[in-house]
Amino acid sequence: MKLIARMALFTSLLFSCPSGRCQTVCPDEKRAEQALRVVREHSHAAQPLRAALLPNLTDDVISLQTSRLRHALGSDVIVAIFYKVTPSIYQLDGNKVASETIELDAERECLVAVGPGDEAYLLEGSDDAVGEFNRLVRDLHLQVVDESGALSVFDFFLKVTKGQEGRAAVVPDDMKLESVALDDFRLRFPTIKREAAFRSWWARIPATKKQTIMPPKAIQAKNGFDVRYFLYRQGEVLGLSLPVKDDGTLGREESRVIFQ
């Protein structure tokens, strides 16, 4: 429990085991180092990094395998461990602060999965998030058998590649669209202009187009399903179609502008 509590806060290059310092490399330490390594290689960052364990995403992987896809309860599952990797402002040496890094620019956090054989997959923050996600899903040996399974894979993809901000941009109805757009206009426009700019934009969207917005839906397609959904992005409303194949991998997404 002591180790888990520490890792929930942050994981650095130096770990403590429940029974004291490891004489050999601990499995947890090895996996966290894999996560840190893949981010260093991708970003070429010189500053120290830290990795925070995200056990809820591991639960999601197990749920995908046991509840909605091929495996039944009691079957073997393939576990993946997830880490959020961010710049480390402080380096600790025991209970002492050994160094401090001043961040001049906010760095985007990354999300890394470490799966079978300690293979690392850079998901959120990757230049090829779909490709990395597909590598992970292949190694998990999923099989999508129905619409519910396709939607579960789609939601998991959003979680591990888009983060909370990306998931929030998916709009299931016109009320969510209004809420997401209000937040966007509040951030993008000066205080004295934001309300008028939003009201003008909102009034230009025909009621018939607002009524077409609906929650993500999976439709049977060749070799799997197409997940169709709506997305808001800086004044644009997009309709998208993302293929989810039988093995859980994703195809090429297509989009059309509903309104801008």
Instruction: Report the alpha-carbon distance of residue 99 to residue 58 in Å, rounded.
Output: 32
pLDDT tens digits, residue range 128-139? 999 999 999 999
Highest mean pLDDT out of 14-28, 64-78, 180-194: 180-194
Instruction: Report the alpha-carbon distance of residue 206 to residue 199 in Å, rounded.
Output: 13
10 or 125: which carries more pLDDT confidence? Answer: 125
Average pLDDT for 54-62: 92
Instruction: Report the alpha-carbon distance of residue 140 to residue 163 in Å, rounded.
Output: 21
How is residue 209 written in tokens? 């187009």
Can you give the residue ranges of every domain in the chain? 2-142, 174-259
Q: What are phi and psi of 148, to 5 degrees?
A: -60, -40
Angstrom distances, CA of residue 206 to CA of 190, 202, 203: 26, 9, 8
pLDDT tens digits, residue range 143-177? 898 999 999 999 999 999 998 888 999 999 999 99
Quick one: which of 70, 46, 42 has its CA closest to 247?
A: 70
pLDDT tens digits, residue range 216-255? 999 999 889 999 999 999 999 999 999 999 999 999 999 9
How many CB atoms lie under 10 A from the CB of residue 107? 15
Residue 33's pLDDT is 87
Instruction: Report the alpha-carbon distance of residue 253 to residue 233 in Å, rounded.
Output: 16
Highest mean pLDDT out of 48-52, 92-96, 190-194: 190-194
Res 24 pLDDT > 70? no
pLDDT tens digits, residue range 37-57? 888 888 766 678 888 999 999
Quick one: which of 9, 52, 60, 59 has its CA closest to 31?
A: 52
Instruction: Report the alpha-carbon distance of residue 54 to residue 121 in Å, rounded.
Output: 14
Residue 101's pLDDT is 54
Q: What are phi and psi of 153, to 5 degrees?
A: -65, -40
Residue 92's pLDDT band (cuts 50, 70, 90) = low
- The residue with tokens 């597909």 is 134
36 or 17: which carries more pLDDT confidence? Answer: 36
